[in-house]
C-alpha cells in the first residue's frame, strides 16, 4: 500500500509549511518534476526536483555552495550586528569552509566513519539498541517508537566521539538547536529562541574538551584535540564546529530514520514479511526507506556562487536553490517503479546521503544504527503493528515524527 | 582507459570495489588500490558505473586518446 501520489486537479503550490505536505509530499513532488524548475516566490528560491539536476547541484561545489553566508539575503537576518557564537562557529564549519579547508577537516574525521571503521562499532551499537529497548515504557501492550528512537543516535555518536553519557538531555537539545538554527530564513526572534539551548550546550562541550585535554583517551575527540595541538591541522573554532556538527548531525537525523523505517515497513506488510524471511535484506531495506519516504522536507539548500544556467533556468549569484532530494529519489527517470517500496531493488543510484564533497560523513554509522534498530525491534516484537497515524511536529525542513504509536 | 583517484576526496566507502572488484580494492587500512594500469574493454561498463557511483565523486576516467593527444 502506498500513499496517493496523484496531484489533485487545480492550481498547485509549493508550501512545505502546509501540514498536508509534511504528511504526504509526494503529489507535490510529482507535480514539480513534471514541469521546469520552480521559482518559490516566498523565498525567491529555485526548486529543482529532477534526479539529474539535483545530483548535478550536489556534486558541483565550484558553482554551488551550502554556505548560508553566500546567500544574497544573508545580511537581512543578523541581529544588531552581533555575531552569535553559533554563527562564528558555523563560519568555520564544513558547509562554510572553502574547498581546501573542507578537505583538510574531512580528512581528520572520515577515517573514524568509514564502513570498515564503523563495522567495528557493531557490538557497541547493538548494546545501545538493546538498552534502549529494555527501557521502553510499554503500557497496555503499546509504546511510542519516537520515544525509543530518541535515545539511540546521540548515544552512538557520543560513543564514536568519546563523550560521556551523563549530560544527554543537554547535548540532545544542543544538537536540535544546531540543526534548527541552520535555517537562516527564521526571524531574528525565532532564531534566538531556537538557539537558547546552544550556549549551555557549548559550555558543556568546552568542559568535556577540557577534561579530555587533561586525560586523553582512545577516541575521536582526543584525536581531534591532539590534531589541534599539533598546530596546523585545525584551529580551535574548527574543532568546536566539527564536534558540534557531528553531535547535531549524528543525533537529530538518525532518530527520524529509525521512526520512518518502522513506519514504512509496518505499512508494507509484504515487504516486512520478506525482511523477516531473509534478514540479510535489512541493508537494502534501510536504503529503500531512505529513498522511498525520506524525512527531509526540502534537502540542504545551496547558493549559486556565480550566475549560472541549470535545468533550463538562469540562477542569480547568491540566489537560494533547493535541490529537492526526496523528490529526486522518486524520479522514474532514475528508479524503475519509483513509487513502489521494494527492499530488494538496486540502490546504486540512491543518493540519499548526498553525493560529492558533502556526502554525509556519518552515513555508515546511520546505516548501522538503522539496521540494528530494525533487526532487533522486529525480532523482539514479532507481532508489532501500527495502532495510529504518526504525529508530525511542525518544522520548516524536517518531517519529524513526534509520535508513532505501535502495539506489541 | 585508466582510472584516477583523488585521494583528497576518497573516503573508503567501498562502492567502487563492490561494483568492479577486478579493478578496485580497498584494503584493511582503508586505502584504495587501483589494480590495473589500463581497464580491460570487458570491464569498461562496470568501471564507468563504479566511477559514477562513488559517493565522494573521487574517481575519474582518462581515455587513451586524450592521453595520446597531450
Report the residue from B14, B49, B56 with minimal CB separation from A356: B56
Q: Do B11 and A354 touch (CB under 8 A)?
A: no
Please report, rounded to a whole number, the percentage of residues in chain A having pLDDT higher than 70.
96
- Helix (H) / strand (E) element for A250: namely helix A236-251
Question: What integer is the mean pLDDT of A87-106?
Answer: 94
What pLDDT sits at residue A311?
96
Which range among A12-26, A64-78, A192-206, B30-44 shows the weakest confidence by mean pLDDT?
Answer: A64-78
What pLDDT sits at residue A47?
97
Distance CA A8, CA A69 (A): 38
B12: chain A residues, CB-CB within 8 Å: 110, 114-116
What pLDDT sits at residue A13?
82
Question: Under a CB-based contact definition with an 8 Å cutoff, are residues A115 and B14 in contact?
Answer: yes
Q: Do B11 and A117 touch (CB under 8 A)?
A: no
Q: Which band of pLDDT confidence, cut at 50, 70 and 90, is reported for residue A246? A: very high
A353 touches chain B (CB under 8 A): yes
Tell me which of B6, B10, B12, B59 to substitute to probe the interface with A (most A C-beta atoms closer than 10 Å): B12
What pLDDT sits at residue A1?
43
Tell me which of A355, A360, A366 to substitute to probe the interface with B (most B C-beta atoms closer than 10 Å): A355
For residue B35, give how far its alpha carbon lies from the nearest alpha carbon of chain A (Å).
20
A109: chain B residues, CB-CB within 8 Å: none
Q: Do A361 and B11 touch (CB under 8 A)?
A: yes
What pLDDT sits at residue A75?
78
Residue A78 above 70 pLDDT?
no
A vs B: CB pairs below 8 A: 44
What pLDDT sits at residue A147?
96
Q: Which residue is closest to B59 within chain A, CA to CA?
A: A356
Task: Identify the CA nearest to A247 among candidates A148, A301, A179, A149.
Answer: A179
Distance CA A214, CA A31 (A): 57
A364: chain B residues, CB-CB within 8 Å: 13
Q: Count CA within 13 A, CB hemisphere, residue A333.
A: 12
Residue A233 above 50 pLDDT?
yes
A102 touches chain B (CB under 8 A): no
Residue A213 above 90 pLDDT?
yes
The residue assigned the cell 555575531 is: A83
Question: Under a CB-based contact definition with an 8 Å cutoff, are residues A291 and A51 in contact?
Answer: no
Q: pLDDT tens digits for A368-397?
A: 999 999 999 999 999 999 999 999 998 888
Q: Do A114 and B28 touch (CB under 8 A)?
A: no
Q: Do B11 and A113 touch (CB under 8 A)?
A: yes
State the helix-helix crossing angle for A363-380 and A122-134, rounded to 10 degrees. 40
What pLDDT sits at residue B67?
57
Q: Which residue is closest to A357 within chain B, CA to CA?
A: B56
- Cell numbers standing for residue A350: 540512491
Q: pLDDT tens digits for A28-60?
A: 999 999 999 999 999 999 999 999 999 999 999
Residues 6+ apart with CB under 8 A from A278: none
Question: What integer is the mean pLDDT of A209-234?
Answer: 93
Rounded to the nearest integer, the mean pLDDT of chain A is: 93
Q: Which residue is closest to A361 within chain B, CA to CA?
A: B11
Q: Do A357 and B56 touch (CB under 8 A)?
A: yes
Q: Do B8 and A107 touch (CB under 8 A)?
A: yes
What pLDDT sits at residue A374?
98
DSSP per-residue letters across B23-54: TEEE-TTS-EEE--SS--GGGHHHHHHHHHH-
Task: Identify the CA nearest to A194 among candidates A179, A205, A209.
Answer: A179
Q: Which residue is closest to A110 within chain B, CA to CA?
A: B11
Q: Do B9 and A116 touch (CB under 8 A)?
A: no
The interface predicted TM-score (ipTM) is 0.93
The predicted model scores a pTM of: 0.95
Q: Do A59 and B11 touch (CB under 8 A)?
A: no
A111: chain B residues, CB-CB within 8 Å: 30
DSSP per-residue letters across A143-177: EEHHHHHTTHHHHHHHHHHT--GGGHHHHHHHHHH
Amino acid at each position: 500500500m502506498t500513499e496517493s501520489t496523484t496531484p489533485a486537479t487545480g492550481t498547485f503550490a509549493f508550501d512545505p509549511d502546509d501540514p498536508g505536505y509534511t504528511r504526504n509530499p509526494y503529489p507535490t513532488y510529482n507535480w514539480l518534476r513534471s514541469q521546469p524548475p520552480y521559482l518559490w516566490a516566498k523565498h525567491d528560491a529555485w526548486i529543482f526536483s529532477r534526479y539529474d539536476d539535483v545530483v548535478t547541484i550536489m556534486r558541483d561545489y565550484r558553482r554551488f555552495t551550502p554556505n548560508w553566508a553566500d546567500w544574497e539575503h544573508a545580511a537581512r537576518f543578523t541581529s544588531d550586528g552581533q555575531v552569535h557564537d553559533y554563527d562564528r562557529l558555523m563560519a568555520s564549519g564544513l558547509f562554510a569552509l572553502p574547498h581546501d579547508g573542507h578537505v583538510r577537516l574531512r580528512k581528520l574525521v572520515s577515517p573514524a566513519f568509514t564502513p570498515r571503521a564503523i563495522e567495528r562499532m557493531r557490538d557497541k551499537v547493538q548494546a545501545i539498541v538493546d538498552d534502549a529497548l529494555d527501557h521502553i515504557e510499554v503500557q497496555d501492550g503499546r509504546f511510542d517508537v519516537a520515544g525509543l528512537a530518541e535515545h539511540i543516535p546521540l548515544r552512538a555518536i557520543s560513543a564514536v566521539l568519546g563523550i560521556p553519557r551523563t549530560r544527554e538531555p543537554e547535548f540532545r537539545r544542543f544538537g536540535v538547536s544546531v540543526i534548527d538554527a541552520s535555517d537562516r530564513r527564521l526571524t531574528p526572534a525565532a532564531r534566538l529562541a531556537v538557539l537558547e539551548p546552544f550556549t549551555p550546550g557549548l559550555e558543556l562541550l568546552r568542559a568535556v574538551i577540557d577534561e579530555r585535554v587533561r586525560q586523553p583517551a582512545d577516541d575521536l575527540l582526543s584525536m581531534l584535540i591532539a590534531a589541534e595541538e599539533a598546530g596546523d591541522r585545525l584551529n580551535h573554532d574548527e574543532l568546536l564546529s566539527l564536534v558540534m556538527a557531528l553531535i547535531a548531525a549524528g543525533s537529530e537525523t538518525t532518530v527520524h530514520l529509525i521512526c520512518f523505517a518502522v513506519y514504512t515497513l509496518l505499512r508494507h506488510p509484504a515487504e516486512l514479511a520478506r525482511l523477516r524471511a531473509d534478514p540479510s535484506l535489512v541493508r537494502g531495506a534501510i536504503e529503500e526507506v531512505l529513498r522511498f519516504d525520506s524525512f527531509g522536507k526540502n534537502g540542504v539548500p545551496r547558493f549559486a556562487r556565480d550566475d549560472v544556467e541549470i535545468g533550463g533556468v538562469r540562477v542569480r549569484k547568491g540566489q537560494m536553490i533547493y535541490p529537492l532530494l526526496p523528490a529526486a529519489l522518486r524520479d522514474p527517470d532514475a528508479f524503475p517503479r519509483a513509487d513502489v517500496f521494494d527492499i530488494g531493488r538496486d540502490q546504486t543510484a540512491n543518493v540519499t546521503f548526498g553525493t560529492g564533497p558533502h556526502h554525509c560523513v556519518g552515513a555508515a554509522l546511520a546505516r548501522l544504527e538503522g539496521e540494528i534498530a530494525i533487526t532487533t525491534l522486529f525480532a523482539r516484537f514479532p507481532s508489532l503493528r501500527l495502532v495510529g497515524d504518526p504525529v508530525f511536529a511542525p518544522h520548516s525542513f524536517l518531517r519529524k515524527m513526534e509520535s508513532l504509536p505501535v502495539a506489541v | 582507459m585508466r582510472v584516477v583517484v583523488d585521494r583528497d576526496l576518497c573516503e573508503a566507502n567501498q562502492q567502487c570495489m563492490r561494483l568492479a572488484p577486478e579493478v578496485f580494492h580497498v584494503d584493511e587500512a582503508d586505502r584504495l588500490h587501483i589494480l590495473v594500469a589500463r581497464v580491460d574493454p570487458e570491464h569498461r561498463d562496470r568501471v564507468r558505473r563504479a566511477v559514477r557511483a562513488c559517493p565522494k565523486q573521487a574517481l575519474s576516467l582518462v581515455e587513451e586518446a586524450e592521453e595520446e593527444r597531450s
